[in-house]
Structure 1
Amino acid sequence: MIDVLPDIPRVYTALAEWIACIIYISILKRHLRRSHLVLFASLALIVQITFLVVTDYLSLAFWIPSMAMAVILMFIFIYKSTQLNFLDAGYFTVKAFVLAELVASFQWQLHNFFWKQGFTDSLQEIILLILVYGSAFLAIWFLERKHIPEDGMMNVSRRELVSVVVIGVAVFAISNLSFVTSKTPFSGQYAQEILNIRTLVDLGGFTILHAYHLQLTDLRIKHELRAMQYILQSQYTQYQQSKESIEMINYKYHDLKNQIIALKAETDSDKRHAYLEKMEEEIKAYEAEHKTGNHVLDTVLKSKSLYCIKNEITLTCVADGSLLNGMSTADIATIFGNALDNAIEYEQKVKDKEKRLIHVSVFSKRNFIMIRVENYFEGDLIIEGDLPKTTKRNTYLHGYGLKSIQHTVQKYGGVVNVNQNGNWFELEILMPKLN
C-alpha cells in the first residue's frame, strides 16, 4: 500500500462496522432478547476488533480476504440478532458495510485535517471520534428507520441481492484503489486527494444503495397493494359465486320437498315412507345448517362447508352472525374467506382424515367481538415478523391472505393474533362491537 498517509486505524474501522450493524439491528425485528443481545453484541465487538487488529499487519495479498471475512462477521452479527432470512440479512450487511466505510472515511478525513492544524492530543482525537461517529450514525438511523418496513422484511430476491453486492464491491474497490496503487487513471496522487476520493465515493455508493432501497420499497408496496386488492376482489367474487350456487341448491331442495310430498300421497308403503321421512329430515338439517344470523357469513360458511365435505374435512361453527351486521359484505367475505382458505389448505395436507378439523366461532366478549378460526396443526409454529413461517417454495407471495385480514380488521379498530395451542393453530380477531 502507498505510504502517502496513515490509513484508518483498524480499531476505528471495526468500531464503525459494529455500530453500523447496531443501527440496522435496532430498526429491524430482533431475534434475541435485550439481555442476550447485549451479550452477543459485546462479543461481536470484541471479535470484530480483534480480527481486524490482528490482520492489520498481513501483506497486501491477505488484505482483501481479511476484509471479506470482516463482512462475514458483520453478516453473522445481523443474521443471528434479527428475524431476517438469509437474503435480507445479506442485503442489510452490504448497506451496513458501505455505511461503515463512509463514516470511518469521513471521520479520518476530519482527523487528518485537524492533525495538520496541530490538534494532536489523544483526548481531542477521541472526542472527535465520538462526535463524528455519534452524529453521523444517529443521522443515518433517523433516515433509515423511515424507509424500512415495520416487519423488517424486504424479501429481496437473489438477483436484487447480487445487484446490491456488486454495488458494494464496486464502491469499496474504487474508494480504496489509491491505497493499493497509484498506477491507474482513477488513483489519487496526494494525501488530501486520496481522502477526498474515498469519502466521496463512499458517499456516492451509500446514496446509490439508499436510492435502490427506496425503489425496492416502493415496488413492494405497489405489489402488496395489487396482491391485496386481488385477494379482496377474489374473495368477494367467490362470495357472489357461492351465493348464486347456494341459491340454486336451495331451489333444488325446495323442488325436492314438493316431490317428496307428492310421493307420499301416491303410496302407503312403510319402507318408502320411512325413506322419504329420512330425506325430509336431511333437508331440514340442511336448512338449519349455518344459520348464524348474518346471510353473508351463512353463504361463506356454506360454500366452504361444501368444499370441506368434498375433501373430507370436518368444519364446525358456533357463531352469532348478528354481531357482524354492521360490517360490509366484502369485509366479511375477506375475513372469513381468507381465514378458511388458509385453514383448508393446511388440512388438505393432513394424512389422517380424522384429524382434518376446522372450527369457527364468533361471539361477544364484553364490548368486543371475538372471531376465532382454529384448525388442527402438526409441528411447531414459527413466526417470521407477524406471519407464520411458510412451507411454500414461493415465499415472496406468502402472507397476503393474512395481511388482507389484518388490513380489513384494522378498518374497524381491531387486532389480529396468531398462535399455537397444542395441536391447534388459532387465528384470533378482536374488534370493538359494531354500531
Structure 2
Amino acid sequence: MIFEPVIPNIPRYYTAVAEWLACVVYVSILKKRYAKGKTALILAGGLAGQLIIQIVAGKLPEILWIPGMLTAVAAMGGLIMFCCAMSLKNAMYNAVRAFLLAELAASLEWQLYFYMVHGKPEDVFYVRLLYVAVIYGIVFGIAWTLEKRVLSDGDMLQVSTRELLSAVMIGALAFFMSNLSFLYEKTPFSSSIETEIFNIRTWVDLAGFFILYAYHALLNEFYLRYERDTMENMLQNQLMQYKLSRESIDLVNRKYHDLKHQIAVLRAESNADRRNAYLDEMESEIRVYEAQNKTGNDILDTVLTSKSLYCEKHKIGITCVADGHLLEFMDVMDICTIFGNALDNAIECELKIADKEKRLIHLSVAAKKQFLTISIENYCEEEAVFKDGLPLTSKKDHAYHGFGVKSILHSAQKYGGSITVSQEKNWFRLMVLIPFPKEQENSEVHKNKK
C-alpha cells in the first residue's frame, strides 16, 4: 500500500536538476573526453534529457516508478561517459555515486524549504528558487571539495565488475531504505509521521553517500598501494637482474682474459701463416667484445651488455652512443630502472616484428646544456595508444601491466626530471630529461668550453 503523506513529494524538475548537478560535480573533476565547448554542449543536452526523463516518469503508473528511476541513473551514467574518458563500468560506478548525492541534495533542500517557508507568506517563486540555489550550491560545493581529494587520481582506478556491483548494491539499499516510508507505512523500518519520513530520507541518503565515498577512497588507496608495491618490486627485480648480469659478465671477462693468454702461447709456438691468420681473427673478436658497451659507467655497461647479448640471440640490432660518466650522480637502482625498463619495453616490441632486418634499437646518453638526456628509440609497426602522455600497455590485463614507464617516470622525477614518449611514423621514442646537479652542471660547462 502506497503511503500518501501530507507533505508533497519533491517536484520532478527539482530532482532532475539535482541529478544533473551531481553529474557536473564528477565531470568537472574527472578527465574530459572533449574540449570545454563540446563538453558544455553535452552537459546542456544532459540537463534537457534529465528533465524529460523525470517529467515523463512522474506521469507513469506507480508500478513503473522503479524502472523510471533506473532510466534516470542510466542517463546519468551515459552523460558521465560521454563527457569523460572512461569505460562504461567506471561511468556507471560514478553514476551510482552521483545519484545518491542528487537524492541527498534534493531531499535536504525540500525538507528545509517545507519546514521554513512552505505555506507562509514568503512562499513565492523567487524564494523557492533561492532555496534551491543556496542549498544545492552548499551540498554540491561540499561534495566537489570532498570528491576532489579522492578523484584526483581517479583516471587510474579501473573499476572491476565486482566493485561496480558492490557500489550498486550499496546505492540500491540506501535508496530503498530512504524511500521505504513513502512506499509502505507499516514496516519496522518506516514511519507514518511526515517529519520523520523526511528525516529518515535525508539521513539515509547522507549515510549512503558517505559509505560510497569511503568505499571509493578505500579502493583508491588499495590501488595506489598496489601500484607503489608493484613499482618497488620492479625496482628490486631490475637491481637483481643487474647483479646477476654483473656476475655473468665478470665470468665471461675472466674467460676472455684467459683466452688472450692462450692465444699468446699459441702464437709463440706456431709458425704457420694460416694459424697466425686464425689467431689474428680471434684476437680481433676479443678486442671488439672488450670495446663494446664501455660507456664509462660500470652499472650502465652491465645493463647494456646483458641486453645486448639477449638482442644478439634474438636477431635484434642495438646501437649505443652513451657517455656513462654523465650518470655519476644517479643511484644504482635508478640507472637499472630507467635503462632496464626502457630496453625491456623496446625489446618486447621488437620481438613482435616478423622481419628481423627491421628489429632495431638505438640508445643515446648525452649532455645538452644543463640537462642529461637519455633517448631510447626502437622500430615499431604497431600504433601506440597514449593516455596522459604515457603509452597504454598492449597487454590484455591492463590492471597488472604498464608500470615500466611509470617506474621510469618515478626515477626521473626523483632528480627533478621528466619523460616524454612519442611515436613518429614507425619509430617509438622515449626521452628522459634530467637536470644536472650544480656541481656536475659546472663540470659539464667547463668540459664544453674546453
TM band (smaller chain): over 0.9
In 1: Cα distance, 2:64 partner to 2:276 partner: 94
In 2: Cα distance, 1:88 partner to 1:304 partner: 39
Corresponding letter in the other structure for 2:3? I
| Structure 1 residues 85 and 425, CA gap change in structure 2 (3 angstroms) | farther
> 1:3 and 2:4 equivalent?
yes
Give the match's secondary structure for 1:70: helix
Decide which of 173, 179, 187 is 1:184's aligned counterpart: 187
In 2: Cα distance, 1:106 partner to 1:212 partner: 23
**Structure 1: which 5+ runs fail to align?**
none
Shift of 1:149: 4.1
Corresponding letter in the other structure for 2:344? D
Partner of 2:150: 147
| Structure 1 residues 12 and 386, CA gap change in structure 2 (3 angstroms) | farther
Give the match's secondary structure for 1:349: coil
| Structure 1 residues 385 and 166, CA gap change in structure 2 (3 angstroms) | farther
Partner of 1:104: 106
In 2: Cα distance, 1:345 partner to 1:146 partner: 37
In 1: Cα distance, 2:319 partner to 2:88 partner: 40
The worse-fitting range, judged by mean Cα deviation, of 348-357 and 320-329 is 348-357
What's the CA shift string for 1:17-66, capped at 9, x where partnerless?
11111111211122211111111111111112122212220012222112
Shift of 1:375: 1.8
Partner of 2:115: 113
Partner of 1:22: 24
Give the match's secondary structure for 1:176: helix
CA contact (8 A) 1:21 1:77 kept: yes
> 1:288 and 2:291 equivalent?
yes
Give the match's secondary structure for 1:318: strand
Shift of 1:261: 2.1
Give the match's secondary structure for 1:427: strand
Shift of 1:410: 0.9
Give the match's secondary structure for 1:402: helix
The worse-fitting range, judged by mean Cα deviation, of 360-369 and 124-133 is 360-369
In 2: Cα distance, 1:72 partner to 1:62 partner: 15
In 1: Cα distance, 2:367 partner to 2:58 partner: 67
Superposed, which structure 2 residues align to 1:424-435 within 5 Å? Answer: 424-434=427-437, 435=440
Give the match's secondary structure for 2:430: strand
| Structure 1 residues 295 and 131, CA gap change in structure 2 (3 angstroms) | same
In 1: Cα distance, 2:276 partner to 2:23 partner: 79
Corresponding letter in the other structure for 1:259? Q
In 2: Cα distance, 1:385 partner to 1:178 partner: 47
In 1: Cα distance, 2:47 partner to 2:358 partner: 50
CA contact (8 A) 1:178 1:188 kept: yes
CA contact (8 A) 2:359 2:379 kept: yes
Corresponding letter in the other structure for 2:37? S
| Structure 1 residues 76 and 378, CA gap change in structure 2 (3 angstroms) | farther
Corresponding letter in the other structure for 1:335? I
> 1:199 and 2:205 equivalent?
no
> 1:413 and 2:416 equivalent?
yes
Partner of 1:163: 166
> 1:125 and 2:125 equivalent?
no
What's the CA shift string for 1:79-125, capped at 9, x where partnerless?
22222233322222211111111111111111211234613201001
In 2: Cα distance, 1:372 partner to 1:90 partner: 41
Decide which of 29, 33, 36 is 2:35's aligned counterpart: 33
Corresponding letter in the other structure for 1:103? A
CA contact (8 A) 2:74 2:92 kept: no
Give the match's secondary structure for 1:84: coil
Decide which of 77, 85, 88 is 1:86's aligned counterpart: 88
Q: TM-score, normalised by structure 1?
A: 0.95
Partner of 1:66: 68
Decide which of 232, 237, 242 is 1:234's aligned counterpart: 237
In 2: Cα distance, 1:219 partner to 1:386 partner: 24
Shift of 1:424: 1.8
Shift of 1:361: 1.4
Shift of 1:8: 1.6
What's the CA shift string for 1:148-191, capped at 9, x where partnerless?
24362222222122111110111111112222232332222132
Q: TM-score, normalised by structure 2?
A: 0.92
Give the match's secondary structure for 2:107: helix
The worse-fitting range, judged by mean Cα deviation, of 184-193 and 294-303 is 184-193
Decide which of 43, 46, 49 is 2:45's aligned counterpart: 43
CA contact (8 A) 1:313 1:353 kept: yes
Partner of 2:395: 392
Partner of 2:358: 355
Partner of 1:137: 140
Shift of 1:409: 0.9
In 1: Cα distance, 2:317 partner to 2:135 partner: 64
In 2: Cα distance, 1:149 partner to 1:251 partner: 54
CA contact (8 A) 1:416 1:429 kept: yes
Identity %: 47
> 1:213 and 2:216 equivalent?
yes
CA contact (8 A) 2:384 2:392 kept: yes
> 1:246 and 2:249 equivalent?
yes
Shift of 1:386: 4.8
In 1: Cα distance, 2:355 partner to 2:91 partner: 38
What's the CA shift string for 1:277-332, capped at 9, x where partnerless?
22221111111111222121111111111111122222221112221111111111
The worse-fitting range, judged by mean Cα deviation, of 270-279 and 125-134 is 270-279
Q: Tell me how many residue pairs correspond in the alignment.
A: 435
CA contact (8 A) 2:42 2:82 kept: no
CA contact (8 A) 1:84 1:153 kept: no
Partner of 2:448: none
Corresponding letter in the other structure for 1:3? E
In 2: Cα distance, 1:87 partner to 1:320 partner: 48
CA contact (8 A) 1:83 1:384 kept: no
What's the CA shift string for 1:62-83, capped at 9, x where partnerless?
2211211211111112122222
In 1: Cα distance, 2:87 partner to 2:358 partner: 32
Superposed, which structure 2 residues align to 1:253-332 within 5 Å? Answer: 253-332=256-335
In 2: Cα distance, 1:151 partner to 1:55 partner: 32
